[in-house]
Structures are given as structure tokens and as C-alpha cells.
Amino acid sequence: MGVTVVRYRTRPDRADENQALIEDVFRELHDRGTEGVRYAAFRLADGVSFVHVASTETDDGTNPLTDTAAFGEFLRDIGDRCEEGPLASAATAVGSYGFGASVPGSLAT
């Protein structure tokens, strides 16, 4: 299971647009019933910083998230929407409780 964490800060006048694009990604994932990916996105308290966490669980190593049209649209102008980042980092899940993702060491899914 590969986990990626991405953090960035948008321009203040583009934060709502960024959130709407993220919501479109979730809508498409839900509508398609996409399997093999777990994905969460957070808008931080400052209103302009975002954190995304994605894990993939496919046999062939592909990322179903990147196969969605909405994710492509989200990425299209990301550099123009951002003041800082995006900075992506591979991560190893240590544990999860009630977060909806099953990871090694989790007490609950």
C-alpha cells in the first residue's frame, strides 16, 4: 500500500476554487465507485492551506485517483492557484483509529 501526503498553500483568492475542484474529485470517485484508493483532503484552519492523504491498493501498482477526469482538472492549474507547494511525500502509515482506512497497526477501520 503506497501512501502519499501532499501539503500546499493556495492564494487567498483561489482557495474556494481549489476546494470546489477537490469536491469534484470526491464526487467523481463516489459516482464511479472507484476501488483501490483511499483519499482524504483537508482545508486547514488558516483557510488557504490544504493537506491531501492518498493510499493506493491495486494489484498492478496503478493509482485510480489519477485516472479520474476531475483529478486531472484539479491538477491543471494547481501551480497558478498556489503560493507555496505542493510538496508531496511518501509516507508509512503507523496507525489509524476510526478514520476509515485500514492500515497496519490500526485499532479500528
pLDDT, tens digit (0-9, with 9 covering 90-100), for 22-53: 999 999 999 998 888 889 999 999 999 999 99
Instruction: Domains for the chain: give ranges and CATH numbers.
Output: 2-91 (3.30.70.100)
Residue pLDDT, tens place only, 59-105: 777 788 888 999 999 999 999 999 998 999 999 888 877 765 444 43
pLDDT at residue number 107: 38
37-43/49-56 β-pairing: antiparallel
**Bridge partner residues of 75 (DSSP):** none
Give Cβ neighbours of residue 25 (< 8 Å, ≥ 6 apart): 39, 41, 65, 68, 70, 71, 74
Would the pLDDT of 21 be above 90? yes
pTM given for the model: 0.84
pLDDT at residue number 1: 59
